[in-house]
Chains A and B, each alone.
Chain A
């Protein structure tokens, strides 16, 4: 028995590494083919994020919201619901947080209090909008994937509408809100970089998620509901409440992510298209295999790739969009149960045959 478990565990790690290596290899190959100066390009992509403080800050600027959306999607993914509401609430909460910040700016609220208030607004926005697909799914059995995707687009238009009608700044040429007051913004830990105090929010959120997962009854309930709903019912777990709670908390974390991002990096609300952060959060959750402890690792990996791509984008002519393809490859290979599965079965079969031989 021990043998089987060892094979499975080692195999999982091996599989993730192979998947990442394949995706990374494909990307490097693409860069080399299209670039005039392939070695410079590959260098920029692979090492670029670490070549200056500013670039490293940029990496952290992405890492921070990934921690939050990753933790949020971990809740959703672990409860085996394919609820993508994180995408929309990220944007919606960014919008409302900016709105509240603009409205209350200059009212003399102390910095810390102001930021905390805004973070609460972000989380509540997430919870509020996130409760819709969760309730519809658990109370009325309506497909949460469809509802959440529909709501994401609706929220995009709603946010744009709010910017146009309630927050529009006439003094600038592009569509954005009025500037977010300085006292509402998260301070940079290293001046003029994107590494801001939001990182503490992110770390706390991941820690709380891990705590909920492994140190509370709710965490047990979520995992059991996600792993086998029929067993959950037979054990007397209140599935409706558990699953609603998991999805709402996931959405609240995604909302918090939107708030932290807008207060940490932007000086105005200016998202006019879906940010893709919710989906990136799902990737982080997939990378961390539903285990919150691994979220920082997954978030860092994704932030690193995204930063490398964006550095490549402005140092060479190669468009940033190629990372989207790379991401899809990683998702495919890691989420694919049967990727290299035949190899695993062979190993287990051999082990079990040997064991049977010993017994006989």
Chain B
């Protein structure tokens, strides 16, 4: 098969000095489905943004059909036959499917937009590939699965030869996923090369012809699927045979700290993302929530932290309800929160380490002086102490956080949250995309907090290794519900956990038992 795309020795350094890609190689052949896999932060998205002309790069070259292609913009990429289906749909909700699909290549004479023609073109392609989309429907009225079809339609209408799909199945139901795979295979028969970015190895195995693995911004290797199996791929991805093992004594849980009773949450798109979740956490234990991302775990954490308003059900911390309370009040009740997206909710990038570490406690009596003022000396002492304890690699406390590496930014955040004297620590994806050393430190500290200081820890993570190693008890969430509960996480195998996460198995309420 002919080679359609070759990305050679691509190097990308962001303005803050972060090296996202280092000498990355990727070769795509005509009519193949090529998986691009790697952990979060391995550089997949950056590589695809470069291919699609959304980011410039400092080294290497992109070859299309063997010729040097200088892709300067998405428009240029589209013109050269590259289409991309983004993780977040790139759609204008108030416009119709046809208007969205033909946006940028609108039919019509001169300046005029021919709405009928647009609908006709869209419907034709939709029918040809059996995508089952109604061209005149408004995007705002459609479901997620159909909206993804609109994204694919957009690429097809533009006659793409290379189609990039960025984690397309993350938002789909199993049936929708199956349907998508059938349609992708049909596209492949038409000679379209597909780049499939995914975390789900079983999907990669079922769908793809070849696999390229990235790790920490570098290419680990490319191979045909016949030579691979999920274990092999996962080892290439994480690059270590032994998982990080954490020594821990058995838990001796005492009184209840967190009680979650039958909570529900409906998001802005009117989808019930949390649908009747009940569990509890006791002093001294770590409870993990595993699940494929987007199954309601994040919402559960945000409801407990007060970031989302609690409307249905009840959440109690140390016996007191958090309903209607502000984040400040909930934190005062003894909650600490490591949020999922560290650059958005975890820190203020342009401010110094000092402000970032003090954000939650600057009002505390401890730092008061003469009533109105703050005790800078004490603050500086404490911050320097935290920087030392958590080994934050930085110039000094006045250095803006944005200049630190991802791992060190996370250290600033955990230093703050671990030192707030909380009874309950919510750790939402605490080690996503950061280096092994920091990861190990954070995991060990979570366990130590529970064992030595009697803190109740809730760990939400999509990293299987992490939830299995760190948790005492383990819950699995799927579609906003808890589908499994393991009394002892150390007895659970990754395979079994995966089956629950992917909805292959489900526990009955008797099997799950009392979840406190």
In-complex A–B contact (CB below 8 Å): yes
Is A139 in the interface zone, CB < 8 Å from B?
Answer: no
Verify A5–B395 contact, CB threshold 8 A. yes
Verify B399–A5 contact, CB threshold 8 A. yes
Partner of B344 from A231, A236, A352 at Cβ < 8 Å: A231
Verify B345–A352 contact, CB threshold 8 A. no
Is B70 in the interface zone, CB < 8 Å from A?
Answer: no
Is B157 in the interface zone, CB < 8 Å from A?
Answer: no
Verify A234–B346 contact, CB threshold 8 A. yes
Which residues of A have CB within 8 Å of B235? none
Q: In the complex, A2 Cα to B363 Cα: how many Å?
A: 31
Interface 0/1 of A221-258, CB less than 8 Å to B: 10110011011111111100000000000000000000
Q: In the complex, A239 Cα to B350 Cα: how many Å?
A: 18
Verify A220–B358 contact, CB threshold 8 A. yes
Is B339 in the interface zone, CB < 8 Å from A?
Answer: yes
Partner of B345 from A214, A216, A234 at Cβ < 8 Å: A234
Verify A235–B327 contact, CB threshold 8 A. yes
Partner of A349 from B58, B305, B350 at Cβ < 8 Å: B58
Stretch at the interface among B171-179, B370-378, B485-493, B494-502: B370-378
Residue of A8, A234, A353, A355 contacting most chain B CB atoms (<10 Å) = A234
Verify B328–A236 contact, CB threshold 8 A. yes
Which residues of A have CB within 8 Å of B363? 217
Q: In the complex, A214 Cα to B400 Cα: how many Å?
A: 16
Verify B19–A352 contact, CB threshold 8 A. yes
Which residues of B have CB within 8 Å of A107? none
Q: Which chain B residue shows the least CB distance to A220?
A: B362
Partner of A348 from B15, B332, B400 at Cβ < 8 Å: B15
Verify A223–B355 contact, CB threshold 8 A. yes
Which residues of B have CB within 8 Å of A214? 376
Partner of A237 from B328, B329, B351, B400 at Cβ < 8 Å: B328
Partner of A345 from B15, B337, B345, B394 at Cβ < 8 Å: B15
Verify B345–A230 contact, CB threshold 8 A. yes
Is A18 in the interface zone, CB < 8 Å from B?
Answer: no
Which residues of B have CB within 8 Å of A231? 344-348, 359
Is A320 in the interface zone, CB < 8 Å from B?
Answer: no
Known: A215-B373, A227-B348. A235 touches B17 (CB 8 A): no
Chain A: residues with Cβ within 8 Å of the partner, total of: 33
Is A356 in the interface zone, CB < 8 Å from B?
Answer: yes
Interface 0/1 of A3-22, CB less than 8 Å to B: 01100100000000000000
Known: A1-B393, A236-B328. A353 touches B362 (CB 8 A): no
Distance between A232 CB and nearest chain B CB, rounded to angstroms: 7
Verify B349–A228 contact, CB threshold 8 A. yes
Known: A1-B393, A1-B399, A352-B19. A238 touches B372 (CB 8 A): no
Q: Which chain B residue shows the least CB distance to A351?
A: B17
Q: Which chain B residue shows the least CB distance to A229?
A: B348
Known: A1-B399, A228-B348, A233-B327. A220 touches B359 (CB 8 A): yes
Is B330 in the interface zone, CB < 8 Å from A?
Answer: yes
Verify B347–A1 contact, CB threshold 8 A. no
* A236-285 interface (Cβ within 8 A of B): 236-238
Q: Which chain A residue shows the least CB distance to B393?
A: A1
Verify B339–A234 contact, CB threshold 8 A. yes
Which residues of B have CB within 8 Å of A353? 13
Is B237 in the interface zone, CB < 8 Å from A?
Answer: no
Q: Which chain A residue shows the least CB distance to B395?
A: A2
Q: In the complex, A5 Cα to B396 Cα: how many Å?
A: 11
Which residues of B have CB within 8 Å of A5? 395, 399-400, 403
Verify A230–B17 contact, CB threshold 8 A. no
Verify A1–B403 contact, CB threshold 8 A. yes
Which residues of A have CB within 8 Å of B351? 223-224, 227-228
Interface 0/1 of B355-373, CB less than 8 Å to A: 1001110110001000011
Distance between B486 CB and nearest chain A CB, rounded to angstroms: 30
Verify B15–A236 contact, CB threshold 8 A. no
Can you pick out 11 interface pairs between chain A and chain B where the beta carbons lie within 8 Å of each other? A1-B404, A8-B403, A217-B362, A220-B355, A223-B355, A227-B349, A231-B347, A232-B348, A236-B328, A345-B15, A348-B17
- Give A residues with C-beta under 8 Å from B: 1-2, 4-5, 8, 211, 214-217, 220-221, 223-224, 227-228, 230-238, 345, 348-349, 351-353, 355-356
Q: Which 5 A-B pairs have the closest CB atoms?
A: A236-B328, A227-B348, A235-B359, A228-B348, A352-B17
- Give B residues with C-beta under 8 Å from A: 13, 15-17, 19, 58, 305, 307, 326-332, 337, 339, 344-351, 355, 358-360, 362-363, 367, 372-374, 376, 393-395, 399-400, 403-404
